Every structure is written in structure tokens, then in C-alpha cells.
Amino acid sequence: MGSNPLLAVTMGDPVGIGPEIVARTFAAAEDVGARGLIVGDPLVVRRAVEVCDLQLEVHPVDAVAAARFEPGTVDVLDTHALDEPLAWGEIDARAGRAAIAAIERATSEALAGRVDAIVTGPINKEAIWAAGSPHLGHTEMLGALTGSSSPETMFVVRELQIFFTTRHLALREAIAQVTRERVLAAIQSAWSALQVFGYDQPRLAVAALNPHGGEGGNFGTEELEHIAPACEDARVAGLAVVGPVPADSVFHQGLEGRFDGVLSHFHDQGHIAAKTFDFGDNCRCRGS
């Protein structure tokens, strides 16, 4: 990798696909205008390098300053979480603890200013829960580690940003939480995020929850009772918000350039739209 910025890349679950993805990424990386180092356990990275038959030397370091960033070498900031290989593909509390340790170390390095950003490898939620983590996933864990009162997920597909009113909840619970107050807060947060990413006057669409936008209450009343009033509250506050727009068309309209962002209301509503169009390269997180 080239010069700044410096990225800390967590290995993910050590017995999943994370280490292989990370190792292959470093092996294939050309000059992308950034330097990177893996955060995790060197023995895990070595096994991934061997399994993938990569021409990479693994260089363990205990401090970011000791990284060499040399061609053909991958620097691994050692978390010292594992002292022996674990069986592939099994849910294991030890693997969960190792994945958590990598996220914690990468975050601490970023907060201390020793790296500019972190990139996270895939984790196994059951493994981190087996290790005692109270967090539902990366978003909540990063929120706690950074002291963010409102960690949020943002997907980026082409020029369209996708936001969420709720995330990791059972569908029944998620629907129950689509309230006027919560939708308005999500609109305000999405608006602020768009401004951070360079949109001075963002164009934000709010998805409907029910088929056809509820058809005037015949297919559900959430639009009438909560979503439309929240959109009006936002407009009164000076935000250019459109909605509720039926979810089967709002994402297409966004990709066509009509909106800068779309607020979806539950996990799969936004995830299916984003990942169908661009499965591998769309997830970013922010905290506020």
C-alpha cells in the first residue's frame, strides 16, 4: 500500500472467512493511496496465507509504529488473544473473544490517533455472544467503544446513502418501534450524516413501511399515524424530506438520482435493496 491514510483492518472471526478475505485483500492490494495493517493474531493470519497459497510474509508487531508496510509483507498488530489454532467453522467462545480483542484494539488505536480509520472483517455474532459480549454486532460494539450515544449504520450504493430507523430487532419489535418520535430522530440523524458527507442541502426520502404506502390506511396505519407526521415535522424544521414513498420504488428512484439518501425502517428493508444491487461493497458505519 502507499502513503496515508493508515487503516487498521480487523481479522474478523478467526475460524470464519474473515482472515482469508483480509489476507487476499492485502495480497492483491496495489497502490490505493493508503497503508494498512491487520489487527489480530499472527497465527491466524499465517494460516489464512497458507490456505490461500499467498506470497506474503507475516510480520507481527506490538505497536503501530513498528509496522514496516513493505511490499510482500503484511504487518499484524498482535492482540495476543490466541495461542493455538482453532477448528475451522465452529462457534467457539475463544474465537469470539479473539474477534472482540481485534475490534477493541483497532478502535483504541483509532481513538489515540495512531491509525486514521478501521475496516472490520466479518464476525460471528453467536461466537461473540458465547464470549460474553452484550452487543448485537459491530455497530453497537463500536458505539460503546467510542462512547457514541447513537451509533448508526449507513449503506452506500453508487451515490445513494441508505439509513435505518431500526436495525437488529425482530420484525414485530421493529415495526412497533416505527413511531413518530423515532422516525423524526432517524430523519434528523440521516440529514446530519449527509451533511457530513458533503451534501449541504440533502434530498432525503423516507420509505413507507406497508405495501403501497399503506393505501390510505387499508394496508396499515403506520404511514398515517407516524411516518407522514414525522416527515411533516422534519419539513417544518426546514429539512427537505419527501415521504413516505412506497418501499418498492423509493430505492430505484434514489439510484436514478432523485434522492441523496433513503431512510428505511427495518434491517431487511434497506439491506435487501442495497445488497441486491451491490452485495460486496456497500456498508459503512458512523456514530453520532
Query: Taking all residues of the chain, what is their mean pLDDT, rounded to a whole number?
Result: 89
Which CATH number is 281's domain given? Answer: 3.40.718.10
Answer yes or no: do 134 and 63 share one domain.
yes
Answer yes or no: do 139 and 164 share one domain.
no
Answer yes or no: do 174 and 139 share one domain.
no
Residue 30's pLDDT band (cuts 50, 70, 90): low
C-alpha distances out from residue 156 to 82, 95, 98, 161, 283, Å: 34, 30, 29, 5, 6
Answer yes or no: do 103 and 169 share one domain.
no
Classify residue 66: in a domain, yes or no: yes
pLDDT tens per residue across span 236-261: 999 999 989 999 999 999 999 999 99
Classify residue 61: in a domain, yes or no: yes
pLDDT tens per residue across span 32-84: 556 899 999 999 999 999 999 998 999 999 999 999 988 889 999 999 999 88
pLDDT at residue number 241: 95
pLDDT at residue number 1: 42
CA angle in degrees (0–180, nearest 5) for 252-283-125: 125
pLDDT at residue number 152: 74
Residue 231's pLDDT band (cuts 50, 70, 90): very high
Q: Write out the residue range of the structural domain in which residue 85 sits.
A: 6-146
pLDDT at residue number 34: 65
Contact 82, 93 (CB under 8 A): no
Classify residue 1: in a domain, yes or no: no
Q: Which residue has the higher pLDDT, 150 or 199?
A: 199
Strands of the sheet with 73-78, listed across from one edge: 57-61, 73-78, 35-40, 6-10, 117-119
Task: Tell me the mean pLDDT in the region 150-164.
Answer: 84
Answer yes or no: do 217 and 182 share one domain.
yes
Residue 115's pLDDT band (cuts 50, 70, 90): very high
Answer yes or no: do 95 and 44 share one domain.
yes
Contact 23, 36 (CB under 8 A): no
Classify residue 88: in a domain, yes or no: yes
Residue 169's pLDDT band (cuts 50, 70, 90): confident
Count: domains in the chain: 2
Task: Tell me the mean pLDDT in the region 261-272.
Answer: 92
Answer yes or no: do 159 and 261 share one domain.
yes
Q: Which residue has the higher pLDDT, 211 or 282?
A: 211
